[in-house]
Amino acid sequence: MVSQFLWVIVPYLALVLFVAGHIWRYQRDQFGWTSKSSELLEKQQLRLGSLLFHWGILFVFVGHVMGILIPEPFYTALGITEEMYHVIALAGGIPAGLAAFVGLVILFRRRLTVKRVRATSSTGDWIALGFLLAVIASGLSSTFLNVDSHGFDYRTTIGPWFRGLLTFRPNPAYMETVPLWFQIHILAAFGLFAVWPFTRLVHVFSFPLRYLQRSYVIYRKRLPKQTEPFNRAQ
């Protein structure tokens, strides 16, 4: 019963909130959809933290797609053994996870210590940061604790379970042998999905698709005022 609740009911509740929440948010708050920038309040920490976090999380996302959504037989057909995949996953996943984590810590510290940024922070900002920290920290911990695999392969447990969710044929039995840190990571991720539409994280879906087709913007330099006196005789 507990397994059914954690690995079937909770994920679907989170996904329903994720989809329905975005629809509601877009209909009710289109002008607040994009992220409110605090760049004018502080730039240095924002630039470094944002760069590390966004590049790190991008590669983390690609790694999750490769490990969870793509079935293991696909790699076997390409001649990639379990050991080869494990080395590739660690070589790419650990640096990406560390970059995302360090960047997020910088952004969290900035929001906490810079008075003007803290004053403009909403409850949603703190909730989003808290869930992001929990997800990334538990994910990194899972990776480090599974460096030598310990006989656990998420491609044969978490992968089939998650793909079953997407095809509406979930099998919670896959999750019974999953280590605790992986379970915490997954539940934290679904918690993040549940609150996502009600935070500034919705700006992820605001990529300006027409940006590449935009017209050129011409900036003209302001000419200095003439200092010579006006000659009335001319």
Q: Domain for residue 218, yes or no? A: no
Q: What is the pTM of this model?
A: 0.83
| Secondary structure letter of residue 8 according to DSSP | I
In 3-state terms the chain splits into helix, strand, coil percentages (rounded to 5) of: 70, 0, 30
- Position 219 scores a pLDDT of 47
- Position 149 scores a pLDDT of 59
Q: Domain for residue 227, yes or no? A: no
Neighbours of 105 (CB within 10 A): 17
The token pair at 59 is 């590669």
- Position 211 scores a pLDDT of 46
Please tell me the distance from the alpha carbon of residue 144 to that of residue 85, in angstroms, as a whole number: 16
Query: In this structure, what is the dihedral angle of CA atoms 81, 82, 83, 88, given to the nearest 10 degrees?
Result: 90
Q: Domain for residue 228, yes or no? A: no
- Position 162 scores a pLDDT of 97
Q: Domain for residue 97, yes or no? A: yes
Full domain range(s) for residue 194: 2-213
Instruction: Confirm if 15 and 193 have CB atoms less than 8 A apart.
Output: yes
Q: Looking at the 3D structure of the chain, how many domains does it have?
A: 1
The token pair at 196 is 């996502």
For residue 185, give the CATH number of its domain: 1.20.950.20
Q: Domain for residue 44, yes or no? A: yes
Q: Domain for residue 21, yes or no? A: yes
Distance between alpha carbon 233 and the CA centroid of its chain, in Å? 70
Stretches in the chain below the pLDDT threshold 50? 209-212, 216-217, 219, 230, 234
Q: Domain for residue 81, yes or no? A: yes
The token pair at 47 is 């630039």
Q: Domain for residue 222, yes or no? A: no
